[in-house]
């Protein structure tokens, strides 16, 4: 099923790719979308607030504004790159958009972005800055981080079933004093699950630590399937409701301590990040590298690969 977000991304991809061919007409753009010109124009206008032709012209002018201030290209080269047949035509269009000529803009740059209903703008060096498809705030990011954490524990648990007991219990040659000494893949995975069980017990009013559960791969998966939705409901939902500072008495502690829901989330994500990283490293050593570094980037937002594995350009 194609979601609204998927369709928006699909349209943006088509428009972005077309910027490399500024002379492209509307018929060709629609053909690449496998739609009639009429239907494609209506779809883009409805989703992005501008007709395709107007959208592409604006984005090409924004790219030209960037080139004027960040490249040494002649105005005629920039004009041709934007799809204009002459410097005069480009100058007229640029002046209408920015209120100054290209040569004046180059000496005294103004804000590059032109008005846009959907806030789709050129983003250097060659892409688009995409609009958010919905409201997103700090709480949304935190929620996604927790969801990524719960998902990643499950992925780690599942992969423990693909190694033998010797590998599962082999000491990991990295000791994080005060967190996990003498760690093994089994111990780390168990603690990732048990941490959730402990906090659920505390929030539910328990007075003693929960019993330790099975530490086979299947056993840890059953435990996680039980505790994960409970942790999300008991701890994350109050934070989502704006009650992050609301406190409760943790009677599991001796003597009892007072904690906030927001504090639990911060604690869990901080300590679990260490355990997840060590567990993922142990899995890679065992020949199971498909979790990468466990980067939450894609889970929280974005479509790129594991950010830790991206090749980046060196300083100029």
Q: Outline which parts of the chain fall under CATH 1.20.120.450.
A: 138-309
Q: Outline which parts of the chain fall under CATH 1.10.10.60.
A: 4-129
Average pLDDT, integer, range 152-156: 92
Give the H/E segment covering residue 199.
helix 185-203
Pairwise CA distance, residues 169 & 164, whole Å: 9
Pairwise CA distance, residues 77 & 275, whole Å: 54
CATH topology of domain 4-129: Arc Repressor Mutant, subunit A (1.10.10)
Query: Is residue 43 very low, low, confident or very high in pLDDT (cuts 50, 70, 90)?
Result: confident
Query: What superfamily does domain 138-309 belong to in CATH?
Result: dinb family like domain (1.20.120.450)
pTM of the model: 0.60
Instruction: Report which of 280, 262, 281, 258 is spatially closest to residue 270, judged by C-alpha positions.
Output: 262
pLDDT digits (tens, 9 = 90+) for 87-113: 899 999 999 998 999 999 888 877 777
pLDDT of residue 258: 85
Query: Is residue 2 very low, low, confident or very high in pLDDT (cuts 50, 70, 90)?
Result: very low
Looking at per-residue confidence, does 22 or 123 come out higher?
22
Contacts of 230 (CB under 8 A, 6+ apart): 200
pLDDT digits (tens, 9 = 90+) for 165-208: 999 999 887 656 666 778 899 999 999 999 999 999 998 888 89
Query: DSSP label at 248?
Result: E
Check pLDDT > 70 for residue 148: yes
């Amino acid at each position: 099923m194609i979601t609204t977000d998927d369709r928006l991304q699909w349209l943006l991809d088509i428009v972005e790719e077309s910027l490399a061919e500024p002379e492209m007409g509307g018929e060709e753009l629609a053909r690449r979308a496998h739609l009639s010109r009429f239907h494609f124009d209506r779809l883009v206008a409805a989703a992005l607030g501008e007709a395709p032709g107007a959208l592409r012209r604006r984005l090409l002018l924004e790219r030209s504004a960037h080139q004027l201030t960040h490249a040494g290209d002649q105005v005629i080269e920039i004009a041709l790159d934007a799809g204009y047949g002459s410097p005069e035509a480009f100058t007229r269009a640029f002046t209408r958009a920015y209120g100054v000529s290209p040569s004046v803009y180059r000496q005294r740059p103004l804000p590059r972005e032109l008005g846009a209903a959907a806030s789709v703008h050129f983003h250097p060096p060659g892409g688009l800055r995409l609009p958010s498809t919905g409201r997103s705030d700090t709480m949304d990011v935190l929620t996604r981080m927790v969801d990524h954490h719960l998902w990643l524990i499950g992925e780690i648990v599942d992969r423990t079933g693909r190694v033998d007991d010797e590998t599962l219990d082999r000491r990991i040659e990295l000791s994080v004093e005060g967190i996990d000494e003498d760690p093994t893949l089994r111990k780390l995975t168990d603690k990732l699950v048990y941490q959730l069980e402990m906090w659920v017990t505390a929030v539910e009013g328990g007075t003693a630590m929960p019993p330790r559960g099975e530490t086979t791969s299947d056993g840890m998966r059953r435990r996680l399937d039980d505790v994960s939705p409970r942790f999300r409901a008991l701890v994350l939902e109050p934070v989502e409701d704006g009650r992050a500072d609301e406190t409760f008495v943790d009677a599991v502690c001796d003597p009892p301590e007072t904690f906030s829901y927001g504090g639990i989330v911060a604690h869990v994500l901080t300590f679990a990040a260490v355990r997840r990283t060590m567990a993922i490293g142990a899995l890679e050593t065992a020949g199971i590298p498909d979790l990468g570094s466990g980067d939450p980037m894609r889970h929280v937002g974005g479509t790129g690969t594991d950010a830790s594995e991206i090749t980046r350009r060196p300083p100029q």
